[in-house]
Amino acid sequence: MDTHKVGSDTTVLADSLEIPGIGHIPVNAYVLTAREPVVVDTGLSLSDRDFVATIGEVVDPADILWIWLTHPDRDHTGGIFDLLVAAPRARVVTTFIGAGIMTTERPLPMDRVYFLNPGQSLDVGDRSLHAFRPPLFDSPATVGFYDDRTRICFSSDCFGGPVPTAELAESGHASDLKPEELREAQLLWATLDSPWVHIVDPVKYARWVDQFREMNPEIVLSTHLPPAVRMVDRMIETLTMAPDADPFVGPDQAALEEMLKSFQPGGMPAATT
């Protein structure tokens, strides 16, 4: 994992995963060092990640008061229970649905949950965080937010896109990609992660995108894209193209069997002569 700042008081906790045939997908969490510090998502659910140790490089876990869970998918919840131990004063910001989904594996302690719906705001001492439903999402529990002090939007999965290398995924910026490369990556992710976008009512979808346009953030922070600074107009244009983009079609069984031919048991590439 790589940690670096974006804006005056926001730190990116950057990780990534390689998706064969597609690229490297960023998996970001964030620390907002507000008067009441906020952690946004808690990383991958993989045994070799120590999310609390990474957090400790940025802020004393004992000082954390809020853990904003944008939605309860496994790539957002990896360190949440360890962090709840290390941050005994922290409360988890989620929705009724989000808390319910968590109970299917390990329930959150309900006395430490704070329900917040889109359209509501959270006061963190020196600013308000305004909750909203992003235009694209893959979970009914998804809630992002806009920081009215820094003009940073935390968009959860929306605006994500695979990038060519792990280095770019974890320490780069969205502007490192050429505009056409970024558009192609984001449209691929939109159709993969939010396949329902192909069947939406175009008028209602356009109105939903316009709500984001009116927000006009200076920086957009997605879970699955390097930080995007002063790129919102370009990214909104890409959103408007998503319903008409080619649907994502994943590999079928025949393709899987071809992939497996090049690997030995245990996932190591087969020897070649």
Q: Is residue 254 part of a domain?
A: yes
Q: Is residue 268 part of a domain?
A: no
What is d(CA 119, CA 111) in angstroms, rounded to the nearest whole number?
A: 23
Q: Is residue 116 part of a domain?
A: yes
Paired strand residues for 26: 16
Output the six-digit token pair for 82: 């360890």
Q: Is residue 101 part of a domain?
A: yes
Output the six-digit token pair for 73: 């998918």
pLDDT in tens, 201-218: 999 999 999 999 999 999
Does 54 score more than 60 pLDDT? yes
Determine the average pLDDT of the residues in 15-42: 96
Q: Is residue 82 part of a domain?
A: yes
What is residue 269's predicted lDDT score, i.e. its pLDDT?
A: 52
pLDDT in tens, 83-125: 999 999 999 999 999 999 999 999 999 999 999 999 999 999 9
Give 273's pLDDT tier (boundaries 50, 70, 90): very low
CATH number of the domain to which 27 belongs: 3.60.15.10
Does 272 score more than 50 pLDDT? no
Output the six-digit token pair for 166: 């792990």
Interhelix angle 232-241/179-193, nearest 10 degrees: 50
Does 261 score more than 90 pLDDT? no
What is residue 1's predicted lDDT score, i.e. its pLDDT?
A: 85
pLDDT in tens, 120-142: 999 999 999 999 999 999 999 99
Residues in the chain: 273
Average pLDDT, the chain: 94
Q: How many CA atoms lie within 13 A of 171 on its CB side?
A: 5
DSSP helix, strand, coil percent of the chain (3-state; round to 5): 35, 20, 45
Query: Could you give the number of structural domains in the chain?
Result: 1
Q: Give Cβ neighbours of residue 18 (< 8 Å, ≥ 6 apart).
A: 24, 25, 166
What is residue 238's predicted lDDT score, i.e. its pLDDT?
A: 97
What is d(CA 207, CA 240) in angstroms, rounded to the nearest whole number?
A: 10
Does 81 score more than 80 pLDDT? yes
Range of the domain at 106: 2-260
Give 7's pLDDT tier (boundaries 50, 70, 90): confident
Q: Is residue 270 part of a domain?
A: no
